[in-house]
Amino acid sequence: MKNSYSNIFTFNKKILSKTIKNLKNGGVAGLPTETVYGLGGNAYSKTSVEKIFKLKGRPKFNPLIVHYDNIKKATEDVIVNENLIKLYKKLCPGPITFVLKKKPNSKIVSIACAKLDTVAIRFPKHKVIKNLLKNIDFPLAMPSANISTNVSPTKATDVYDEFKRKLKLIIDGGECEIGIESTVIDLTSMPRILRPGFISKDYIKKILRKNVKISLNNKKVKSPGMMKKHYSPGIPVKINQKKHDGRSAFIYIGKKHENKKDYFSLSKNQNLNEAASNLYKIFRLIKKKGYKKIQISKIPNSGTGLAINDRLKRAANFK
């Protein structure tokens, strides 16, 4: 289907073939997932992976997530353990990423994993990416489709706004349902959450029937993407705000300030999942409207609120 962007395409058989051909030839593509849009490339191809790092301006020490269609394919590259199998059965495909030991004979190019001996793997659910993964014989290295330190894109035109025409192929899969990046959990030893997301620690605990740690501000940066300045809308963000300063865009939860100028609600019904899914959308909207600063009221730190506060703290590091 035609639209006003010559590099955004609606998914169909023809585009599927075109995308496969492009990926096989060492190309990259902007692809929808249920969490956020990704910038995907062949995880077994050095050319593809290098393109991803270059386009994003991503530091080489920050490893990529490798996406598979199913666990059987992943066993070629990682050492599977009991915790993975339990979580896979309950949660996959879905918005969770597992860090595992890499097999010595894995074909994943070492720069994709920042030369670590571990790999982060994910089984995405969105029907476009599922369909694509089913039809290729390699996994996709795929970070979020944004310039490094910016907020993740939740629709195809956001991906365009990030890379403009430098990215030749973006598949439009509609708005991302979850709207915030996957939960990242390290399963190489005692389960430990490295990045909170839609899938909560309590739910993981219930499935594994064991304690799950959460380590977000580790000195030894275990999840290098958890850098201090990240998820930045490009303008200063102030968190835990009580009073509007009269100029900034003010983000809050609820409907107390409904229809008031400069106020943006993440969720009228105070639903934290909805709030998470609206966060990046509202950041981008505010930026487009030309505001110079963002104030955000205190967000409850439970459930998905944990993931929201994690992203907000990092967004607030923009000076």
Rule CB under 6 A: say whether 48 interacts with ligand TXA. no
102 pairs with which residues across the strands? 78
Give least dist CB 206 to Mg ion, A. Answer: 28
Rule CB under 5 A: say whether 144 interacts with Mg ion. yes
With CB under 5 to 8 Å by kind, the binding choice for 182 among ligand TXA, Mg ion, none is ligand TXA
Rule CB under 6 A: say whether 170 interacts with ligand TXA. no
Nearest to 141 by CA among 77, 216, 230, 222: 77
With CB under 5 to 8 Å by kind, the binding choice for 96 among Mg ion, ligand TXA, none is none
Residues 6+ apart with CB under 8 A from 122: 65, 66, 67, 68, 96, 97, 98, 182
Give least dist CB 156 to ligand TXA, A. Answer: 13
Cβ neighbours around 162 below 10 Å, total: 23
Question: Residues for the chain: how many in total?
Answer: 319
Structure tokens belonging to residue 217:
């501000």
Q: How far apart are the first and last CA of the chain?
A: 41
Q: Which is nearer to ligand TXA, 29 or 249 (CB)?
A: 29
Nearest to 196 by CA among 217, 176, 177, 211: 217
263 pairs with which residues across the strands? 250
Q: Which is nearer to Mg ion, 144 or 278 (CB)?
A: 144
Q: Which is nearer to Mg ion, 45 or 144 (CB)?
A: 144
Q: Which is nearer to ligand TXA, 119 or 275 (CB)?
A: 119
Rule CB under 6 A: say whether 214 interacts with ligand TXA. no
Judged by the rule CB under 6 A, the positions of this chain that interact with ligand TXA are: 33, 35-36, 38, 62-65, 97, 99, 113, 116, 118-120, 122, 124, 142-144, 181-182, 184, 194-195, 222-226
Judged by the rule CB under 5 A, the positions of this chain that interact with Mg ion are: 144
